[in-house]
Amino acid sequence: MANLKEVKNRINSVVSTQQITKAMKMVAAAKLKRAQDRITMMRPYSQHLSAILQNVSENNDGDMDNPYAEQRPVGKLLIVLVTSDKGLCGAFNSFVVRKAKSLMEGQYLELAKSGNIDFLPIGKKGMEYVRRNKLPYNATYVDLFNSLNFADVSEAANYVMKEFTKGTYDKVEILYNEFINAATQVVNNEQFLPIEKKEEEGSTAKSSGNDYIYEPSKDYIQDELIPTSLKTQFFKALLDSNASEQGARMTAMDKATENAGDLLKELRLKYNRTRQAAITTEILEITAGAEALAAQ
């Protein structure tokens, strides 16, 4: 049976750990509120803008050259791997990494075998994964979560868009955790480029047969609005991931705090039993000594 000092040390250690997990839960909850507000405000705008972009891309009848909608045979793929910078957030990062591995072993197996899949990790955990597996990557934008803002994210999105239009990559996909609520995150595999065509169920026609009036001009939409829309989609994915990370961390720390509480109950029970056993042994020894003296 463990002695009292060992059990007491374990109790102190678990109490310290529980205090840390409680503090981390509170910090994550505060960050989650801000992150949730940002993605909640961004998501409707982003979705509506994306729908407009798809409709315009499909209905321009070839009179507007959109280089971001060009469909090409996929000879080289870029995967934007969005993870967190820190751990202690449950399976948040492992789900994204597992999805990337699944793509390389399934849908893009031939590209992976020929070395035609590059990674753009955003977040240090994703960087660790590609380095550990010796995968081709560009680490320029790994630290975007240090200060998540549209200007810095736009630079990363602009790099991806430029490489696509140059023909370096024929397809770009973003892997990230989509925020549902504090306890639920879903890994999303989203095609970023080329712009996907919107499909309507039960119809092979265009998504809309409307004629569009372009204001101020088609050139402005091509040169300004479409790139800005794509950057917005990119930024939305990172906001989703950021909110998901804080939700996953808050949930993980809450569970860790509960587990620490359960362990403390067991340790304190063990401590009391050990202490009682020591007292009983001491009483028995004193009684035996007293009886031995009385018998002399």
Give DSSP secondary structure letters for the chain. Answer: ---HHHHHHHHHHHHHHHHHHHHHHHHHHHHHHHHHHHHHHHHHHHHHHHHHHHHHHHSSTTSS--GGG-----SSEEEEEE--SS--STTHHHHHHHHHHHHHHTTTHHHHHTT-EEEEEESHHHHHHHHHTT--B--TTTTGGGG--HHHHHHHHHHHHHHHHHTS-SEEEEEEEEEEETTEEEEEEEEEESPPPP--TT--S-S-------SS-HHHIIIIIHHHHHHHHHHHHHHHHHHHHHHHHHHHHHHHHHHHHHHHHHHHHHHHHHHHHHHHHHHHHHHHHHHHHHT-
Task: Look at residue 14 and tell me if it is in a domain.
Answer: no
65-69, 128-132, 168-172: segment of lowest average pLDDT: 65-69
Task: Look at residue 40 and tell me if it is in a domain.
Answer: yes
Query: What is the pLDDT, as a whole number, of residue 68?
Result: 86
Query: What is the pLDDT, as a whole number, of residue 202?
Result: 45
Give the confidence band of 198 by pLDDT, cuts at 50, 70, 90: low
Find the catalytic residue in 89, 117, 144, 160.
Answer: 89
Query: What is the pLDDT, as a whole number, of residue 42?
Result: 87
Interval 138-146 mean pLDDT? 92
18 is catalytic: no
Task: Look at residue 258 and tell me if it is in a domain.
Answer: no
How many domains does the chain divide into? Answer: 1
Interval 197-212 mean pLDDT? 52
pTM summary value: 0.83
Give the confidence band of 17 by pLDDT, cuts at 50, 70, 90: very high
Task: Look at residue 8 and tell me if it is in a domain.
Answer: no
Q: Which two tokens stand for residue 102?
A: 């699944």
Burial class (CB within 10 angstroms; exposed 0-12, middle 13-18, buried 19+) of 250: buried
| Domain containing residue 232: CATH number | 3.40.1380.10
Task: Look at residue 273 and tell me if it is in a domain.
Answer: no
Give the confidence band of 27 by pLDDT, cuts at 50, 70, 90: very high
Task: Look at residue 56 and tell me if it is in a domain.
Answer: yes
Interval 39-57 mean pLDDT? 79
Query: Residue 1 pLDDT more than 60?
Result: no
Name the residue type at position 52: I
Give the confidence band of 157 by pLDDT, cuts at 50, 70, 90: very high
Domain hosting residue 30, numbered range = 22-252
Query: What is the pLDDT, as a whole number, of residue 203?
Result: 43
| Measured distance CA(23)–CA(67) in Å, rounded | 49
Each residue of 86-124: pLDDT tens digit? 989 989 999 999 999 999 999 999 999 999 999 999 999
Residue 46: how many CB atoms within 10 A of its CB? 20
Cβ pair 121, 135 in contact under 8 A: no
Task: Look at residue 26 and tell me if it is in a domain.
Answer: yes
77-91, 161-175, 220-234: segment of lowest average pLDDT: 220-234
Task: Look at residue 128 and tell me if it is in a domain.
Answer: yes
Cβ pair 40, 223 in contact under 8 A: no
* CA 175-178-181 angle, 5° bins: 160
Give the confidence band of 210 by pLDDT, cuts at 50, 70, 90: low
